[in-house]
Every structure is written in C-alpha cells, then in structure tokens.
Amino acid sequence: MKKTSAIKTLKILLGFYQGALVIFSLLAFIMFIHAYFSPVVYVPYNWPNMLAFLLVGPTIVFCSCSAIKLLLPARNIFAKWKSLTQISIVFTILWTLLFGYFIFIFQRGIVNHGSPQHPISKPTSLRIGQMAPDFSVKDQFGQTISLSQLKGKVVLLDFWGVWCGPCRERLPHTQRIHENFKDKGLVVIGIHSAFRTEQTADFIAEHNYTFPIGIDTGHIAKDYVVTGWPTYYLIGKEGQLAWGPKHSLPSEKQIESLLKD
C-alpha cells in the first residue's frame, strides 16, 4: 500500500515538473523566434544553444502529453500510449541537464566577475573623439579597403545583415547617401555581419548596391562594440569617431558638417 502511494506521489510530482518544463520550453521557443527575427539580438551558434533548439519542440510535445496523462489518470488521456512516460522522461532529463549547464555557466560568470584570476571581458563603449579601430575588409568588387588609408575622408560605417529586416529597409537610404556624397569626400562602407552570410553576394548583386560592402570576419563588429544591427558610425577626416553608435542613419546635415571641418 505504501509502495503504491509512493509511486502515485512520484507520478504526480513528475507530472507537475514536466508541466513546468513545458512552460519553460514554450518561453525558450518564443525567445528563439524573437532572436531569429530580431535585428538587435544575436544568439551564438554554439552546441548548447543548438541542442536547446533541437530539444524544445519534442520536449513540449512529449512532456505536455505525459503531464496530462500523469495528472489526469482517471480520464485515460493518452492511456494507450504506453511508451509516452519513458520517452518524456528522456527529454525531461536532457532539458534538466542542459538547463543545469546554463545555470552553471551563468553562476561561473557571476563568481568570476571582478576576479583578477578569472577576468570577464565585457564590451566597453567607444568614445566620441577617440581614434576609430582600424580594419581591412575585401568588398564585393574584390578590392581591399583599409580604414587607415582613408585619412582625409569622412567615413560612414553601416553594420548590417541580410537576415535583418530593418537593415535591408535602410540600405537604399545608405545607397542614396553614397551617391549624394561620394564626390564630396564621404566614403560609405557596409560591414555585413559574420554570421548568416550565404545570401549576401546575391542580395548585393540583385539590388545593385554600389558602395563597398565587405563581410566581417568577426572582429570588426567586436572592435566597434556592435550589439545590434543595424548600427552606424561616422568617422572624421583624422580617423576619430565623430558620431555613433546609432541604430538609425545620420542626417545629411550631420554629414555635411563633418565634410566642412
């Protein structure tokens, strides 16, 4: 009798835990979708994130059905699905281990914060007036552009990505700025993000963008502390940061003012 009661209690606890896991998985799924379509969120393609993405769907299906079966046994819902509980337990264990890993990484970051033995590198904002980080990038025409070689020019940097809706919407404006000021001392450089680059060349050719566009190797956006796309900077004639970072393009008056300096 005690054994039967204990098993019943364990089933109820498992049902509640799986129900909570389903809610967590739904929130994770919403976050995945938001990160995929958001222009200001970047989720690294590492193995924990990819595993979480692969597990979220099956976990929602199997654990929700199992929770219903365990918590409502009198209704015989999914009673004929004999292997449901076993399959759901597998996904429950995997999600629990993965969640524990994320908690471990998070806590390790907090513990190490400010420790000389385990410094945590955090992006620091660039200051207006400081020298802009130098970079070299090969554009769609096969030419290598180096910022250090553009002294005497005003430079507009457009950090964008094909995957970013607002970026695509503003590229025609960037093209117009290029056409209006290319003979007045302005150099427009597009820096495509280092991820999801497979459609970049076709997209540029299809829309006939003529300002130089290069693909980031990963360090340019990091050096410029780009945390969201699109991001824009204006660099003065002496190579100093004059404006930015902003998520909207500068006005023509701002550009003209720098060109006159």
Mind listing the pLDDT tens digit for each residue in 134-190?
999 999 999 999 999 999 999 999 999 998 888 999 999 999 999 999 999 999 999
Shared-domain flag, residues 167 and 105: no
Beta bridge partners of 189: 157
Same-domain check for residues 149 and 88: no
**In a domain? residue 128:** no
Q: pLDDT per residue over 5-36, tens digit each? A: 888 888 889 889 999 989 988 887 887 776 66
Concatenated DSSP letters of 9-34? HHHHHHHHHHHHHHHHHHHHHHHHHH
What are the pLDDT digits (tens) for 182-234? 999 999 999 999 887 888 999 999 999 999 999 998 789 999 999 888 999 99
d(CA 154, CA 170): 20
| Residue 140 sits in the same domain as residue 256 | yes
Alpha carbon distance 93, 101 (integer Å): 12
pLDDT for the residue 119 = 37
The pLDDT of 104-115, averaged and rounded, is: 44
Question: Which has more pLDDT, 113 or 156?
Answer: 156
DSSP labels for the chain?
-HHHHHHHHHHHHHHHHHHHHHHHHHHHHHHHHHHHH-TT------HHHHHHHHHHHHHHHHHHHHHHHHH-GGGTTTTT-TTHHHHHHHHHHHHHHHHHHHHHHHHHHHHHTT-SSS---------TTSBPPP-EEEBTTS-EEEGGGGTTSEEEEEEE-TT-HHHHHHHHHHHHHHHHHTTTTEEEEEEE-SSS-TTHHHHHHHHT--S-EEE--SHHHHHTT--SSSEEEEE-TTSBEEEEEESSPPPHHHHHHHHH-
Give CA–CA dist 232/242, Å, rounded.
Answer: 11
- Asked whether residue 161 falls in the same domain as residue 243, the answer is yes
pLDDT of residue 245 exceeding 90, the answer is: yes
Rama region for 182: left / alpha / beta (φ>0; ψ in -120 to 50; rest):
alpha
State the pLDDT confidence band at 2, using cuts at 50, 70 and 90. low
Q: Does 124 map to a domain?
A: no
- Domain co-membership, 154 together with 106: no
If asked whether residues 103 and 206 sit together in one domain, one would say no
Residue 239: its pLDDT value, please?
95
Within a domain: residue 229? Answer: yes
Residue 130 lies in a domain: no
- Do 71 and 187 belong to one domain? no
Inside any domain, residue 225: yes
Regarding whether 250 and 176 lie in a shared domain, the answer is: yes
Contact 137, 220 (CB under 8 A): yes
At which of 77, 112, 147 does a domain end?
Answer: 112
Q: Are residues 78 and 37 in the same domain?
A: yes
Decide if 120 is inside a domain: no
- Domain holding 144: CATH number? 3.40.30.10
Per residue in 52-98, pLDDT (tens digit) is 778 888 888 999 999 998 888 888 888 888 899 899 999 899 888 88
The domain in which residue 63 lies consists of 2-112
Which residues make Cβ contacts (< 8 Å) with residue 259, sequence separation at least 6? Answer: 154, 181, 184, 185, 186
Structural domain contains residue 102: yes
140 and 191 within one domain: yes
Cis peptide before 230 (omega within 30 of 0): yes
Provide the pLDDT for residue 113.
36
Q: Are residues 21 and 88 in the same domain?
A: yes
Domain count, the chain: 2
Average pLDDT estimate for 123-142? 88
Boundary residue ending a domain (78, 112, 146): 112
- Same domain assignment for residues 9 and 83: yes
Which burial class, exposed, middle or buried, applies to 2 when counting CB atoms under 10 A from its CB (0-12, 13-18, 19+)? exposed
Query: Is 122 inside any structural domain?
Result: no
Q: What is the pLDDT of residue 232?
A: 96
